[in-house]
Chain A
Amino acid sequence: MQQWYPDFFDRFGTLTVFDLLEDYLASGRIKVDKTAHPQRALYHDPCNYGRKSRELFGRGYFDQPRRVMDQCLAEWTDSQPSRGNQYCCGGGGGTLLTPFKAPRIHYGRRKIDQIKQARAELVVVPCHSCHGQIKALLAAYEVKGVEVKYLWEVVADALIVES
């Protein structure tokens, strides 16, 4: 967008998923109840929202999702390592669309180690590729009792809805 349509930003607003979630929460347009998620959760930084966004756009989305997590989950933890040094899940770069499944599952062994180390019952990701890959990893490594949710799914499930 910056490269091909540089004037786009003068004509239109742009909002990331994190901007939207944070705006809705901060302005009171939505309210959430963190008791909706009593499980011990782990946040996974997607490469593209974290270190690659920082590289390409000068801003890594590390803190915003964590502030959203604080409001929607009773107990959550960071992986070790996390943020810029985080391990990719193994599903990035279109690898989920290729036939090379064995290397992709091997790639993700570090992510499984992190999930086990954190004793996580719920892994929260704001990325479709990470979501699909981490579910595939949990199945391949036969890790039971761990759920995977999108960050916006966590928000939706914690919504206080007045009917």
Chain B
Amino acid sequence: MATNPPVNEDPVKTAAPRRPGNQAPEMCLACGTCAAGCPLTGQDGFDPRKIVRLVLLEREQELIASDLPWLCTLCGKCEYACPMGINIVNIVRTLRGRVARDKVPGMIHKGVALCRQTGNNLGLPAEDFEFIITDVAEELAAEEEFADFKIAFDKPEANLLHTLHNKLVNTQNEDLVHWWKIFHVAGEDFTIPRENWEGVNWGLFSGDDEAMQLSVGRIVTHMEQLEIQNLMYPE
């Protein structure tokens, strides 16, 4: 379960992908604009300016061993304000990717590993998924305005592929119906995959590019095999 990503020996300052302007982190002026705009500065020692500085000094192990990369929300407000175009978000995400997988806090890597095995971050078997979705769809169809509503799983040549956020399938079933109501009234020809339906790519959060590519590839496979015309980007 705790397979570590391939180790890149390059320092984070060179390994982290640059922003479109291709500015090297060495261009940082240490002005602190990033830190001033970040709502997390000061919390448990968090400070984006100091993170950039430590990475430039190749003291990244101190950051990798800390909780700091996981407190950041990768929101990009620091970068947006940065006068030098420094790749602060990718630095933090690259630091996350260097953390041993069994040290990734909370559910993030567990979900990635489950998704790799089962096709969704919950590890939910296809028959249970089908049961939940069908059950909620039948409840909606019990309302007069949506009387003939049905979910088509894996419908060939559908117009639209609709993947799902795992939390809607897990604890927030009541929020599944909003899009379904809209699709029903619009007469949309949509389909939901019975397997590999996960719409949330937690590899983005864990710094795991290989896991991200796997999830994207599964969506491409659905589109090809079912000959679907349009992909609805996951919510």
Contacts and interface: CB of A to CB of B under 8 A. Distances in A.
A21 B206 contact: no
B73 interface: yes
A10 to B, nearest CB: 12
A17 B233 contact: yes
Contact of B186 (A11, A30, A86): A30
Contacts of A163: 144-145, 147
A119 interface: no
Contacts of B107: 97-98
B80 interface: yes
Given A5-B216, A13-B231, A103 B71 contact: yes
A92 B78 CA distance: 14
B76 to A, nearest CB: 5
B235 A128 contact: yes
B192 interface: no
A52 interface: yes
B173 interface: no
A131 to B, nearest CB: 8
B217 A126 contact: no
Interface string A111-146: 000000000000000111000100000000000000
Given A95-B70, A95-B71, A103-B43, A152 B231 contact: no
A1 B79 contact: no
A156 B184 CA distance: 10
Interface residues of B, number: 59
Interface in B183-211: 185-187, 200, 202, 204-206
Interface in A35-90: 47, 51-52, 55, 84-88, 90
A73 to B, nearest CB: 15
A156 B181 contact: yes
Nearest to B43: A103
B232 A15 contact: yes
Interface size bracket, A side: 35 or more
A17 B129 CA distance: 23
A99 B105 contact: yes
B80 A90 contact: no
Given A100-B71, A152-B179, A159-B182, A55 B77 contact: no
A109 B40 CA distance: 10
Nearest to A94: B205
A93 B73 contact: yes
A161 B145 contact: yes
A126 B175 CA distance: 13
B232 A103 contact: no
Given A47-B76, A157-B178, 13 more contacts: A14-B230, A14-B233, A15-B160, A16-B233, A47-B73, A47-B74, A52-B74, A94-B202, A95-B72, A97-B202, A98-B105, A128-B165, A152-B182
- Top 5 A-B pairs ranked by shortest CB distance? A94-B205, A88-B75, A93-B74, A92-B73, A98-B106
